[in-house]
Structure 1
Amino acid sequence: MKCKIYIVLFILCSHYSIAHEGMWLPLLQEQNIFPIMQQAGCKLSEHDIYDAHNASLKDAIVQVGSDCSGGIISNNGLVITNHHCVESFIHKQSSVAQNYLQEGFWAKDHTQEIPVSGLYVSVLQRIIDVSNDVLSDVSDTVSAQEFYMRTQAKIDSIIAVYTLHDSTLHYSIESLYGGNQYLLFSSRRFSDVRLVGFMPANIASFGADLDNWMWPRHAADFALLRIYVDTLQNAADFSEHNVPYIPRTCLSIDTSGIQEGDFTMLMGYPAQTNNYATSYETSRIFSDLNPLQIELRKRKLAAIHEYMQLGEIQSLQYYSTYYSLLNYYVKWQAEQEGIQRYKVIERKKTFENNMQEWIKTQQDISENHSNILALYDSAYAQYFTSYIALVTYAESVWKMDFFMFAEKVLPLYYAALKNTVDTHRVERIRKVAADYYVNIAPHIEQKLLPDIMSYLDSNLNVAYMPEMYRSFSISERNDYIQSMIHESILFQKNAMDIFLKKIHKKRYQSRPQNIVKIMEQDKGIQFVIQTRAVLSEILFPQYYNALLELEYCTKKYMSVMRTCTNQTPMSPDANGTLRVSFGNILGYSNADAIYYAPQTTSYGLQQKWNLQHIAYPKDEILDSLCNQHNKGSFFSDTVYVNFIGTNHTTGGSSGSPVLNAYGSMIGLNFDRSSESAMSDLYYDAAICRNIMVDIRYVLFCIQMYGKSPHLIQEMSFFTK
């Protein structure tokens, strides 16, 4: 009998025992993962990676905004991240006259560096386990709502105490393992961040949408930023008097080259994974959620792409929007293929069956949690009903330009309802409208909205439709939408101009009910008002209540899972906090007789240029540099471009420094292969690969293409 139990436990834990799997907290010793890292080739101590009191690698790893990672590579606050991580900010700085996206940019000194409004960079200071404090006032007998209220009150109280002690730091408390552990993260947040250098987009994002999520790749996906602080080295808003940040430590760079099999370690801020999703949860994602998201993105992308083909101005106008939408459109399709091809749902079912068998052998767990999986799936089904409706709105009207524009106009309506209209409020609306009709192309959504609403008619629960709209027949709905896009101030500039003239008149400002009347006659405004009512009064309450129940059930489910795998290290799902993932440089095979080597070179660039495909525009300067005898300080012959490894990554891992066994930087993470899109749900080291820029190619681009050797002189280099 004991032998059978051990066999079941071995099978149960096997999926979670793959060394390359997981995005680990930097508290490596506490997770029992560090010995495995050392066996894999790591030459560092755990204190080299994370030390709360002394300089360590964690002081050189940054979070860029809320979506990306980066590394500090000089003692003058120079930061490296991905080009695509700051592309939207580059886009905002670009114009037809000064098109940084098309031309690239290299600051020759500090005075030329471009301030980036709205971008911040964070550096972790310390991690503290506050689980006992957060969970001190709860038990398994409280309701989901009570659990949330009590733990949230504790979290708020703890953060208040730390903020009182040091208000210069930013604090957050994050739950792990489904709410079984709570960690406090303190960080310094820097808001004066400036663009220093980056390649033209056609080189940085070489291959564009054709190569996205694909291997082999040949992209120079990097950008250089600089952190500025006040003269006392305190974080500060932009000022001409600010000076470069001096970090506690910075990353050294190793240019000796890489080999297949080399140990690699990523440090960064991965956003979100769901690796412990059940088979039922995964099946709903595969059968319902992803197909819906793919279809709605497809329609939006087609409409925007058609507009972008009209010319350079139109292309530049929607460049950032288009490629932002495209990224996950491609990802979801690849995830679908991976789930099906690698039988992810079936593998999860096998795990669950083994878990159920193990539970039967554990009397204390069996008495309390024998049906834990069924309870979890039931809670997820309840949650999914409102969740997929919210996603439907988020992928359709809720995030369309006309809707977001309406939300800026509606404060005038609500003020008029309260008889509080004034000239300042009216003037703000005029400025918002002027900006909207200059920077947005409403006719994109005039063509798109009928198509989107037709899809919603067939795929959105009628109970979640706007009140008036749901009462219409299909033909009446079509007529309503057509009337809306041809008459509403949200779609027609002439209608907006007439509206603005009216509300500037004294009889409208002195009698706000007149403003209410004309806004209630606008079908676009009414559509948005009623949609917002559905979201706030029906969908969000249902969603949040179901989410609380699901999270509470997740806590119990994860507790059982951790108990049964207590001899096997188990990484918490990514949640935007600092993580470490490790693996090796390794090629792979995804089909019979096909093997993908782990490195690409400039010869691949030239082969793609020869295809004369629109996704591979030839850059004559780069071509010349790759072919000339003098290739600079970092290549003597072959120019190595990108490489792949078995590191577990996800969104947010973009820009993560890739480190060797000694902690020196050898590359920059920027993507995954299409086979790896499923790794947010299920990781398989045999097939999942992350894609990285070789640091030597980065330096080659800086030195030879950007003609900026002064930036390289700031850096320190690793020697064994």
Structure 2
Amino acid sequence: MTKLLAGILCSLMFAPCAYADEGMWVLSMLSKRSQKQMKALGLKLNAKQLYNPDGPSFKDAIVSFGGFCSGVVVSPDGLVFTNHHCGYGSIQEHSAPDHDYLKNGFVARTYKEELPNPDLHVSFLIRTEDVTQRVKALLTDDMGLRRRQHVVDSVSRAIEKEAVAGNKLLRAEVASYYQGNEFYLSIYKDYKDVRLVYAPPSSLGKLGGDTDNWMWPRHTCDFSVFRIYAGPDNEPAEYSPENKPYQASAYAPVSLKGYEEGDFCMTMGYPGSTERYLSSFGVDERMKTSNAAMIQIRGIKQDIWTSYMEQDDATRIKYASKFASSSNYWKNSIGMNQSIADLGVIGQKQALENRLRTWIAQHPDMQKKYGTMLPALEQAYKSRFNASHARSFFYESLLGSAELPRFVINFLQLRVNDMTPEMKEQTLKTYEGKYADMDLNIDKEVFATMLKTYAEVVPAEKYHPSLYQTVAQEFGGDFKAYVDSLYAHTAFTTLDGLKRFLANDTTFNLRQDPMTQVAVSLIQAYNGIADESGKDDEVVALNESKLCDALREMEIDRDFYPDANSTLRMSYGVVKSYDPLDAVHYNYYTTTQGILEKAKKGAQNSDYYIQPEVLKLFNGNYGRYGNKQGDMNTCFLSTNDITGGNSGSGMFNGKGELIGLAFDGNWEAMSGDIVFSPKLQRCIGVDIRYVLYVIENYGHADRLINELKLK
């Protein structure tokens, strides 16, 4: 079968399959077919070189960065490259108006100047094992969703405990794959002493800002550099000035050769979540509930934040990381809904489901197994829509926007009597940073606005928390007056409330604190909404799992990859341009010429502003980092599969040499979490030569360049 025909069939099926450019593959599950495809595309490494649980292999150079991004080890002394937006929170924490590392960048000249980050860790995968039979042996078809999840959790905890056998240096985690049809155990080693080494100025690391986010062409130098530290035995250790740079068992060499269109490209990282097997009913619901809530609510919240951030540098620094995180998925939801509509995703999903119906009808044994699956899904999604809509807007507006109510909700879940003094101290340290990054005036305005907005979007009073009665009866419906009074009378506007709570202060009546009452009101209302849709949720979960199983049975000879679930995955493809519209062609790389063009717009659009001293870097003298035309490549495109969590993933050529860092997907294929579109979907990466040029010429950090194995 030709590659073109295979691609057409995959498109018609609209299900995850072994199309050469599609898939987030588990290294321990690589089929012979996938290995053959990778070799044909240009991979020179074999499967054991990629993944070997019994010795060093390529996987040992890849880290989960903080549990929310990816990174690649690039030196024998534990140097890690990841994205600027992945390190953004750490850079922000070390910044202040008099040393603004967000604005001006940061470089550590010596090991001693490298900055520790107490809340940051990196994880290495040790091995992955199939434990499906052990988990499913205790599951029965008549189990309800909650009972089933309880059994899965109990068995998983037992497997995890057994796997590490008291080894405190290891962490075990059982995760579900293929919508709960299979289960795999992963063993990790977490290093908790991770220090900031280098950050470019944000005018490069975030060049284009929200304007360019998810767009092509890009010129963003989206990287930051950290270093892993270890104890004297090279094992994980809590931060100590005595710790030494981690001695890596594997690290990636760095290529200065670059790439051409059609060259093999491989990414490795920890993608967060995809829903490629989701039914047409599920896609429709996501558009109208969670995506719609993110678009509307986050847009309002970000406008409030922006109005304060533009007035004061200290506030800008405080809210920079929170704004970037919120904005990222706000724009993602906008693009996803648009892409689902433009690409006709729901219609294509329906075509696949009709094909599945025909296959089921032709096989009596399949009728017994799957005959009620699709009708049950359709009815359950329809039945729960109002509750799902309310739940999505409730979460975004009342649980996910104002910070102080969310803090107190988290406090109420602490089991204070079971906490050791060390645990209490760590909790105080964590929230000391959170309080420092919160402005009460901003938080009050956000909460008042969100209370009003939620009532407008979800008018049904049965979905309103009881605090709305207080607002109506005692404040005449004035949300601002209510919130002003609330914040004026709670003990939680400072860290003092948490301290008294953790100390079991008998003079502190937790139940009478007005913010505690708000937190309880929110929790009860949210749980009530969840209870309303509980039975439908069970039907949806059970039959979405069956749908995934049915698709795999219908095409039993095809390789199917599991949805992303924050475990280590590999994607393979090629460097490639694309045509987003009729008569429009996007080249597969950008150059510094685009930086200069965008900088001219800096006066009108702050996303393109570059400080004059930074702009001087792009003078045409690029030396060994330049391209054949005398310019320098900045970013490039590949057909690799990408989603959130992949940020910071290394992009490698066929020899396993680092050619870039993945940092984004493209606007035309924002439905990529639900369906892979081979014609349009692209992974955007920053060229590693651009990264090295900025390290060497802006930070003059030759010591870092000298650590690398340059090819």
- Secondary structure of 2:305's partner? helix
Query: Which residue does the alignment assign to 2:3?
Result: none
Q: 2:663 matched to 1:670?
A: yes
CA distance in 2, matches of 1:376, 1:660: 43
CA distance in 2, matches of 1:106, 1:297: 34
Query: Which residue does the alignment assign to 2:650?
Result: 657
- 1:346 CA drift (Å): 0.7
Deviations 1:534-576 (A, max 9, x none): 235x245556765554333333222111101212211110000
Indicate how the Cα distance of structure 1 residues 8 and 170 shifts in structure 2: closer, same or farther if over 3 A, else same.
closer
Q: 2:536 matched to 1:535?
A: no
CA distance in 1, matches of 2:146, 2:433: 43
The alignment's TM-score, normalised by the length of structure 2, stands at 0.89
Indicate how the Cα distance of structure 1 residues 445 and 527 shifts in structure 2: closer, same or farther if over 3 A, else same.
same
- 1:715 CA drift (Å): 1.2
More displaced 10-residue stretch of structure 1: 188-197 or 624-633: 624-633
1:705 to 687, 694, 698: 698
Q: 2:678 matched to 1:692?
A: no
- 1:154 CA drift (Å): 1.8
Indicate how the Cα distance of structure 1 residues 674 and 706 shifts in structure 2: closer, same or farther if over 3 A, else same.
same
- 1:429 CA drift (Å): 13
Indicate how the Cα distance of structure 1 residues 666 and 543 shifts in structure 2: closer, same or farther if over 3 A, else same.
farther
Query: Which residue does the alignment assign to 1:597?
Result: 587
Query: Which residue does the alignment assign to 1:282?
Result: 283
Q: Which amino acid is 2:691 matched to? A: V
Indicate how the Cα distance of structure 1 residues 227 and 57 shifts in structure 2: closer, same or farther if over 3 A, else same.
same
Indicate how the Cα distance of structure 1 residues 428 and 207 shifts in structure 2: closer, same or farther if over 3 A, else same.
closer
CA distance in 2, matches of 1:122, 1:491: 43
The residue correspondences of 1:194-273 to structure 2 (distance < 5 A) are 194-273=195-274
Contact 1:464 1:534 in 2 (8 A): yes
Indicate how the Cα distance of structure 1 residues 626 and 385 shifts in structure 2: closer, same or farther if over 3 A, else same.
same
Query: Which residue does the alignment assign to 2:420?
Result: none
Q: Which amino acid is 1:156 matched to? A: R
- Secondary structure of 2:165's partner? helix
Query: Which residue does the alignment assign to 1:586?
Result: 576
Q: Which amino acid is 2:571 matched to? A: S
CA distance in 1, matches of 2:180, 2:506: 54
Q: Which amino acid is 1:699 matched to? A: L
Query: Which residue does the alignment assign to 1:483?
Result: 481
Contact 1:31 1:569 in 2 (8 A): no
- 1:25 CA drift (Å): 0.7
Deviations 1:586-627 (A, max 9, x none): 111111211110100000000111223321112333432321
- 1:472 CA drift (Å): 7.5
CA distance in 1, matches of 2:325, 2:428: 29
- 1:19 CA drift (Å): 2.0
- 1:338 CA drift (Å): 0.4
CA distance in 1, matches of 2:359, 2:369: 14
Q: 2:616 matched to 1:614?
A: no
Q: 2:681 matched to 1:682?
A: no
- 1:632 CA drift (Å): 5.2
More displaced 10-residue stretch of structure 1: 134-143 or 580-589: 134-143
Query: Which residue does the alignment assign to 1:401?
Result: 403
Q: Which amino acid is 2:465 matched to? A: P
- 1:212 CA drift (Å): 0.8
The residue correspondences of 1:282-681 to structure 2 (distance < 5 A) are 282-381=283-382, 386-399=387-400, 400-407=402-409, 439-460=437-458, 461-467=460-466, 469=468, 479=477, 481-488=479-486, 490=487, 519=513, 522=514, 525-536=516-527, 538-541=528-531, 547-612=537-602, 613-629=605-621, 631=623, 637-681=630-674
Indicate how the Cα distance of structure 1 residues 468 and 632 shifts in structure 2: closer, same or farther if over 3 A, else same.
closer
Contact 1:130 1:183 in 2 (8 A): yes
Q: Which amino acid is 1:106 matched to? A: V
CA distance in 2, matches of 1:434, 1:10: 51
Deviations 1:202-247 (A, max 9, x none): 1111011111111001011111111111111110000111111112
Contact 2:232 2:244 in 1 (8 A): yes
Deviations 1:14-41 (A, max 9, x none): 8735321111111243474222222333
Q: Give the unaligned 5+ runs of structure 1.
A: 1-6, 419-426
Deviations 1:494-517 (A, max 9, x none): 9979x99xx99xxx987767x865
Contact 2:404 2:493 in 1 (8 A): no
The alignment's TM-score, normalised by the length of structure 1, stands at 0.88
Q: Which amino acid is 1:67 matched to? A: F
Contact 1:654 1:671 in 2 (8 A): yes
CA distance in 2, matches of 1:432, 1:647: 37
CA distance in 2, matches of 1:341, 1:484: 44
Q: How many residues align?
A: 688
Query: Which residue does the alignment assign to 2:132?
Result: 131
Q: Which amino acid is 2:653 matched to? A: N
Indicate how the Cα distance of structure 1 residues 114 and 542 shifts in structure 2: closer, same or farther if over 3 A, else same.
farther
Deviations 1:101-131 (A, max 9, x none): 1111111121111111100000001011111
CA distance in 2, matches of 1:262, 1:169: 38
Q: Which amino acid is 1:654 matched to? A: S
Deviations 1:112-151 (A, max 9, x none): 1111110000000101111111112223344434433333
More displaced 10-residue stretch of structure 1: 540-549 or 443-452: 540-549
Deviations 1:471-503 (A, max 9, x none): 986x97762523322322x25799979x99xx9
Query: Which residue does the alignment assign to 1:421?
Result: none
Indicate how the Cα distance of structure 1 residues 447 and 31 shifts in structure 2: closer, same or farther if over 3 A, else same.
farther
Query: Which residue does the alignment assign to 2:4?
Result: none
- 1:195 CA drift (Å): 0.6
Contact 2:388 2:533 in 1 (8 A): yes
- Secondary structure of 2:661's partner? strand
CA distance in 2, matches of 1:496, 1:137: 48
Contact 2:278 2:544 in 1 (8 A): no
Q: What RMSD, in angstroms, separates the aligned Cα atoms of the two structures?
A: 3.3
The residue correspondences of 1:31-42 to structure 2 (distance < 5 A) are 32-42=33-43
Q: 2:65 matched to 1:75?
A: no
Q: Which amino acid is 1:328 matched to? A: Y
- 1:452 CA drift (Å): 2.0
Contact 2:122 2:192 in 1 (8 A): yes
Indicate how the Cα distance of structure 1 residues 428 and 263 shifts in structure 2: closer, same or farther if over 3 A, else same.
closer
More displaced 10-residue stretch of structure 1: 623-632 or 237-246: 623-632
Contact 1:9 1:358 in 2 (8 A): no
- Secondary structure of 1:224's partner? strand
Structure with bigger gyration radius:
1
Contact 2:254 2:709 in 1 (8 A): yes
Contact 1:47 1:56 in 2 (8 A): yes
CA distance in 2, matches of 1:435, 1:189: 22
Indicate how the Cα distance of structure 1 residues 349 and 442 shifts in structure 2: closer, same or farther if over 3 A, else same.
same
Q: Give the unaligned 5+ runs of structure 2.
A: 1-7, 418-424
Query: Which residue does the alignment assign to 1:153?
Result: 154
- Secondary structure of 1:615's partner? helix
Contact 1:266 1:657 in 2 (8 A): yes
Q: Which amino acid is 2:462 matched to? A: A
More displaced 10-residue stretch of structure 1: 17-26 or 449-458: 449-458
Indicate how the Cα distance of structure 1 residues 491 and 397 shifts in structure 2: closer, same or farther if over 3 A, else same.
farther
CA distance in 2, matches of 1:671, 1:465: 38
CA distance in 2, matches of 1:15, 1:595: 27
CA distance in 1, matches of 2:191, 2:264: 32
Indicate how the Cα distance of structure 1 residues 357 and 236 shifts in structure 2: closer, same or farther if over 3 A, else same.
same
Deviations 1:607-664 (A, max 9, x none): 1112233211123334323215364555572111000111110000000000111211
